[in-house]
């Protein structure tokens, strides 16, 4: 079954807006696990406007499900990952001033960089996923870099889904088939929500993991965190 990894960045954003320690980001991560999430995702950025590097150090020893750190592999990020040794690192080419992740890697142009990172992280026992657009060529490039998985950037899918689910998912299905033929695991993330998640999983049932943060925290404002996670897990399980 596809696993649900909850990105807790938005909880940290709320805390940082006021200062102090409320809401408690570490408690939120552990609550997500207790409520059924099969993973926790964090995405520390250089300005620490969401998750702080210190949060990662605090949370890592306490997480018992999969721990995924995603971000741009600048030297400080790389040092953090090698220090805490998550189960998975997801390499994302977001610029320091990007509001949110907005594109996947060009795995061909950046082959030397990504190959070196894959080798180093894998030698430390960390699974490596590369964030890519739904382009079979970029998926193949990720395989040639030595990645274990790709994460498909699903913003375009979410944007087109209300008008035509079939057209929205078509390039993702093609990219997913390429990943499977290359022996890569498959993750997906960005703007997945209760409206579009089940269709994506039904169409690409070999998706290993979805990473969802913004939509879960928004839904939790109305439904509560426990009920929200249960609702997302129910969508994943729909046939």
Say how many Å lie between the first and final Cα of the chain, rounded.
11
d(CA 126, CA 118): 9
Q: Which residues are catalytic?
A: 43, 70, 190
25-34 vs 9-18: helix axis angle to the nearest 10? 150
Structure tokens, 205: 């049932």
Q: Which letter, b or e, does each residue of 142-160 get, where b requires 16 or more Cβ atoms within 10 Å of its Cβ?
A: bbebbbbbbbbbbbbbbeb
What are the DSSP calls for 18-70, one per residue?
Answer: H-TT-S-HHHHHHHHHHTT-SEEEE---TT-SSS-HHHHHHHGGG--SEEEEE
């Amino acid at each position: 079954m596809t696993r649900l990894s909850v990105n807790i960045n938005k909880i940290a954003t709320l805390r940082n807006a006021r200062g102090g320690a409320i809401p408690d980001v570490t408690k939120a991560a552990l609550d997500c696990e207790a409520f059924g999430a099969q993973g926790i995702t964090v995405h520390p950025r250089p300005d620490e406007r969401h998750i702080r590097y210190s949060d990662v150090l605090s949370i890592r020893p306490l997480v018992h499900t999969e721990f995924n750190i995603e971000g741009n592999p600048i030297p400080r990020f790389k040092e953090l990952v090698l220090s805490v040794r998550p189960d998975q690192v997801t390499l994302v080419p977001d610029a320091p001033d990007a509001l949110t992740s907005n594109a996947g890697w060009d795995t061909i142009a950046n082959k030397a960089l990504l190959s070196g990172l894959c080798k180093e992280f894998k030698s430390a026992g960390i699974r490596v996923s590369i964030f890519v657009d739904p382009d079979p060529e970029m998926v193949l490039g990720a395989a040639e870099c030595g990645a274990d998985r790709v994460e498909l950037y699903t913003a375009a899918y979410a944007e087109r889904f209300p008008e035509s689910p079939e057209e929205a998912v078509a390039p993702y299905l093609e990219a997913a088939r390429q990943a499977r033929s290359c022996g890569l695991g498959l993750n997906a993330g960005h703007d997945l929500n209760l409206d579009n998640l089940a269709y994506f999983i039904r169409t690409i049932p070999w998706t290993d993991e979805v990473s969802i943060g913004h939509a879960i925290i928004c839904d939790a404002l109305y439904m509560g965190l426990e009920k929200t996670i249960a609702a997302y897990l129910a969508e994943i399980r729909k046939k």
